[in-house]
Amino acid sequence: MSADLLYTETEQDLRASVRRLLSERAAAETVMTAYDEVPADFTGLWKSLASELGLAGLLIPEEFGGAGASTREAAVVMEEIGRAVAPVPFFTSAVLATTALLRAGEREVLGRLASGESTAALVIPLSTAPGTFVASVKATDSGLVGRVTTVAGVAEADVLVVPVSGASGLELHTVRIADANVTPVLSLDMTRRLADVEFSGASSVRVDGGNAVGAVEEALIVGSALLASEQFAVAQWCLETTLSYVKERKQFGRAIGSYQAIKHRLADLWLEVSSAGAAARYAADTYARGDEDSGVAATLAQAFCSDVAVHAAEECVQLHGGIGMTWEYPAHLYLKRAKSDQLTLGTAYQHRARLGELVDLPVS
């Protein structure tokens, strides 16, 4: 089966539903309250997405109570979340934690996640790239012991999915949030909050069947593929918003968008963003089809899309001039999400190095 980068009617309907809800409940002025001294509570928004729209179980098979959808549909949701910079744990719970549990063969927690009853977080440093994970939590006779820094999604989770170093190798355990010591971390992007998680004899349930290494790696690869869709959407919003602004903003009696230097910068950016969209869509499609190229596609998408999102956000701030630097204008939300995403699941450099290995590129 050949690649299909076009969106189906079902995917467009899904996009419309998610966009409608986020436009009503996660407008820019609402999202900005995540940076208040007392951050706003977006639990209600996530519950609406998780339960009313069924997004929490999007990747979970129907036999477990989920929607049985693929990464193509999940990519559409990631695009809309990126477009709104929505402070919801779809990526951390419905993608990373869910994929790890699915690959491990777990069922009970997946059923609760699918219904929206529970939210999970995969307890790994957010910067972990595929192929680089090393467990820092150990299984002992008295329970789990260890500390993991900069974990995303913990603030919204009630179930922790923890990769653990056991007697026979890597294991995957679930832990109730009440049994862990969680310390919030001041994050650059407060719409995706981080925390340090420490276990001191925490009780847990082992959920893998000896395939924990594959479960964690699968989560990182799927996460890399779908994160690219969010990065593309962030870049696209920045490009569209900047284009609208330069057509209206006037200097010396002319719209600044009429100056050749501005035209060249935006034309170059349009080419980058369009290419990022194709790379992200290809990554989601190849994984959905079970294509053997899916690992390469996910790595390629991350190697390219992460830098494009940051470039687009920087151009958005700069070409808006003074207003782009203000706290009241939403450009900073996208710059922070783009920069945070650039470091999520590995840097572009790490993915380029991995890509070289995957395609057997000779070392120079």
Residue range 121-126: average pLDDT?
A: 98
What span, in angstroms and rounded, lies between the C-alpha atoms of 223 and 37? 31
- Give 327's contacts (C-beta < 8 A, 6+ positions apart): 32, 35
- Class of 137-211 in CATH: mainly beta
> Where, residue-wise, is CATH 1.20.140.10 in the chain?
213-358
Which one is the CATH code of 9-118: 3.30.2320.20, 3.40.50.300, 1.10.540.10, 1.10.150.120?
1.10.540.10
User: For the chain, what percentages of helix, strand and coil (3-state, to nearest 5) are there?
Assistant: 55, 15, 30
C-alpha to C-alpha distances, 146 to 5, 163, 200, nearest whole angstrom: 43, 11, 7
Task: Tell whether the torsion through CA atoms of 255, 258, 262 and 268 is positive or negative.
Answer: positive
Label residue 249 by pLDDT band (50, 70, 90).
Answer: confident
What span, in angstroms and rounded, lies between the C-alpha atoms of 319 and 43? 35
Q: What is the 3-state secondary structure (H, E, C) of 210-269?
A: CCHHHHHHHHHHHHHHHHHHHHHHHHHHHHHHHHHHHHHCEECCEEHHHCHHHHHHHHHH
**pLDDT of the residue at 196:** 98
> Where, residue-wise, is CATH 1.10.540.10 in the chain?
9-118
Domain covering 213-358: architecture: Up-down Bundle (1.20)
Tell whether the model's pLDDT for residue 256 goes beyond 90. Answer: no
Q: Tens of pLDDT along 181-222?
A: 999 999 999 999 999 999 999 999 999 999 999 999 999 999
Mean pLDDT, the chain, as a whole number? Answer: 95
**pLDDT of the residue at 364:** 64
> Where, residue-wise, is CATH 2.40.110.10 in the chain?
137-211
pTM of the model: 0.96
**pLDDT of the residue at 252:** 82
**pLDDT of the residue at 275:** 98
Length of the chain: 364
**pLDDT of the residue at 185:** 95
